[in-house]
A and B are shown apart, each in its own frame.
Chain A
Amino acid sequence: MTPSRQFSVQVEVLLRDGIADPQGATIERALPALGLDGVTGVRAGKSFRFDLDATDDADALAQATVVADRLLANPVIEESVVRVQPQGIVD
């Protein structure tokens, strides 16, 4: 049996380009109050972290992508970025 490894996963979910992001826009408008006038392109989103067991990097990415696409993001309005990082050998 192929030994599985544990992977750390981070999924970032952001609104798609073209979908209004009033939260990001509101944050951006607040920044001049800090004396920062050059901050642009603020986007508000969500970040998720979890661990999973997988046989290799490709398997980990495939599993994490299912989680991201089927649950964490609504593809109608959101897009996700998935990152996986190997941790160690699991029995």
Chain B
Amino acid sequence: MGQRIGVVLFPGTNCEHDAVLALDRMGADAGLVWHGTTSLDHYDALVLPGGFAHGDYLRPGAIARFSPVMDAVADFAASGGPVVGICNGFQVLTEAGLLPGALQKNRGLRFVCTTVAIRVERGDTALTDGVPVGTVLSIPINHFEGNYTCDAATLAQLRDEGRVVLRYVDNPNGSVDDIAGVCSAGRNVVGLMPHPERASDPLLGSQDGLVLLRALLRSAGAVVPAA
């Protein structure tokens, strides 16, 4: 059996099966975790997938933060466990205070659904462990609220501490400093707007997401072939 990856399912999440399938095909033992769950001790890593948790009412992630599972997610993160939030999952992690900043509406109020180039800026986080800095990946984005923002002091801190994990090569949504993904101070919690699980098979047009998912499995303790 591979590493046990819990994929958290909120009411309104809609990318959970994509994430489970992509991880299982890489040899992981991924499974869904209902948002009412309060114990996550038996997982090696967690994924908060994309979608519209709690209908995105109020703000994306604003209600999901109060789901029972989030206390357990916070405990898991505090103990150093790898936690990755993809798209809506990233929004949930910022609302929960597990990652800094916020995701506001895209520049120009435009929904974006396209494949973009993102550059790996750090190779020492739960989602990029061992990935060479400067690697450019082709991965889909699909969001309305993906415009990352934070105050100047937070941005300076993220830069100083090397916590900008991924940057857009050509900024699609107005994110400050071209930020596509950031990590926690402990580097084990990572949030990103692009969807690596949607770039996990030649039929999807790109397999570049496997580079990140493979790194996640390594962070979860798996021995993963390099390519």
- Do A and B actually bind? yes
Q: Contact residues of A with B, CB < 8 Å?
A: 15, 19-20, 22-23, 26, 71-72, 74, 76-77
A–B pairs, 11, beta carbons within 8 Å = A15-B104, A19-B149, A22-B107, A22-B109, A23-B109, A26-B109, A71-B58, A71-B62, A74-B59, A74-B95, A77-B102
The A interface, classified by DSSP as helix, strand, loop or mixed, is mixed
- Which residues 82-123 in B have Cβ within 8 Å of A in the complex? 94-95, 101-102, 104-105, 107-109
The CB with the most chain B CB atoms within 10 A, among A23, A26, A74, is that of A74
Residue count of chain B within 8 Å CB distance of chain A:
16
Distance in Å: Cβ of A64 to nearest Cβ of chain B: 16
Residue B151 interfacial (CB < 8 Å): yes
Is B150 at the interface (CB under 8 A from chain A)? yes
A76-B150 in contact (CB<8A): yes
Chain A residues with CB below 8 A from B105, complex form = 22-23
| Cα separation A27 to B109 with both chains bound (whole Å) | 12
CB distance from B85 to the nearest CB of A (A): 16
Contact pick for B104, options A26, A71, A72, A77, CB 8 Å: A77
With contacts A22-B107, A22-B109, A23-B109 known, is A76 near B62, CB below 8 A? no
Nearest opposing residue in chain A for B103, CB measure: A77
CA gap between A73 and B97 in the complex, in Å: 14
Name which residue of chain A comes closest to B174, CB basis.
A20
Minimum Cβ distance to chain B for residue A17 (Å): 12
A19–B109 CB distance below 8 A: no
Residues of A with C-beta under 8 A to B108:
22
